[in-house]
Amino acid sequence: MLFIWRGSVLKKIIVQLSIITLFSLLIYFFKGRIFDYKVHLNPTIFTLLGLALAIFMGFCNSASYDRFWEGRKLWGLLVIETRSLTRQIFSYIHGPSKEEKQKIVKLISAFGWALNDQLRDKTGNEHLSRLLSPEQLEKVKGKKFIPSIILGFIADWIQEQHKKGNIDTIVMTQLDHQLNQFSAISGGCERIYNTPLPFAYSVLLHRTVYLYCFWLPFGLVDSLGWMMPLIVLLISYTFIALDAIIQEIGEPFGEEENDLALNSICRTIEYSIFEQAEIPQDELKKPSTFFID
């Protein structure tokens, strides 16, 4: 674990740590003096400040992880709901051909990819172009909330089957409930995306961490001697790395290494529902790579 690089925030903060270490070495070389003035800081002060800072960082970390975990639960629920809707389409709707049902299954997969693109501010249609018909692609072109439009395509098809007598009102109500679940998942993800952690928290935490780390050498230079830069580096790594992790997982839908693997989840959804619908899936990656974005 000491030498793992992938997923570590060390590469993000190595410059900051290097600057703090160099600063600590200078403080050690000049014995805690700035010009002719000796800076006297009692280590007890840093104990009290460190405790308060750790409590505050724990609160921010919990808030960030809650956002990350809620996003994961929403996407986990989407996996369940896509499989349930696919099963219901093939089990309870009688009349449409297998090929027609497969087109609706492709729309279900397209919903996941469209939500992925929306949360990551992407406008590419590489997945939608192979899952939607040309007419549907034209309708979603230039739109912002494409997942909702795709749900409309599915709802229109279900309504058409009801008019043809292929499904009764009870089944239609159940299918509509499934679509409402899709809409709730989309809305929940948008809430997380559009409501970041309050900026005041981030600024206060960031400033306090760096002020603490840069003042720490003055409080430890007399008691630790040549070990002071190493101890300061260790303490700074702990606080600055946690600050970086809080910022990273607080936005769970990004494309950094510790964010949710949305591409992999979308591939998992597509692979599983395509299996149910017996749709060829040669272009998909194997299941062993699903949770590595």
What number is the average pLDDT over the span 111-128? 87
Residue 288: is its pLDDT beyond 50? no
Residue that the structure tokens 């996996």 belong to? 79
Task: Tabulate helix, strand, coil % of the chain (nearest 5).
Answer: 75, 0, 25
Residue count of the chain? 293
pLDDT, residue 204, reads 86
Q: What tokens does 98 get?
A: 């297998």
In the predicted model, is pLDDT for residue 283 greater than 60? no
Q: Could you write out the DSSP letters of every residue in 214-231?
A: HHHHHHHHHHHGGGHHHH
Collapsed DSSP state (helix, strand, coil) of residue 269: helix
Residue found under tokens 């406008």? 123
pLDDT of residue 272: 92
Q: Which two tokens stand for residue 230?
A: 């190493």
Quick one: which of 181, 150, 154, 149 has its CA closest to 93?
154
Cα 35 from Cα 29, distance rounded (Å): 12
Contacts 24+ apart (CB under 8 A), 119-122: 119/189, 119/190, 119/193, 119/253, 119/262, 120/253, 120/254, 120/255, 120/262
User: For residue 88, what pLDDT is reported?
Assistant: 92
**Helix runs in 225-254, H state only:** 228-249
CA distance 47 to 243: 19
| CA 138 – CA 128 distance, rounded (Å) | 11
- In three-state secondary structure terms, 37 is strand
Residue 123 has pLDDT above 80, yes or no: no
Task: Please determine, for residue 286, whether its predicted confidence score (pLDDT) is greater than 60.
Answer: no
Query: Encoding tokens for residue 245?
Result: 């992790």
The predicted structure's pLDDT at residue 289: 44
Q: Is 265 helix (H, G, I), strand (E, B) or coil?
A: helix
- CA 226, 229, 231 angle in degrees (round to 5)? 100
**Model confidence at 43, in pLDDT bands (50, 70, 90)?**
confident
Contacts of 49 (CB under 8 A, 6+ apart): 212
Dihedral class, residue 259 (left if φ above 0, else alpha if ψ from -120 to 50, else beta): beta
CB-CB contact of 166 with 94 (8 Å): yes
Task: With CA atoms as reference, report the closest residue to 247 among 259, 264, 265.
Answer: 259
The mean pLDDT of the chain is 87
Which of 33-37, 105-109, 133-137, 205-209 comes out lowest in average pLDDT? Answer: 33-37
Q: Exposed/middle/buried for 167, CB within 10 Å: 0-12, 13-18, 19+?
A: buried
pLDDT surpassing 50 at residue 107: yes
Question: Six-digit token pair at 154?
Answer: 């599915």
Joined tokens for residue 61: 């970390």
CB atoms within 10 A of CB 228: 22
**Domains in the chain: boundaries:** 10-28+40-279
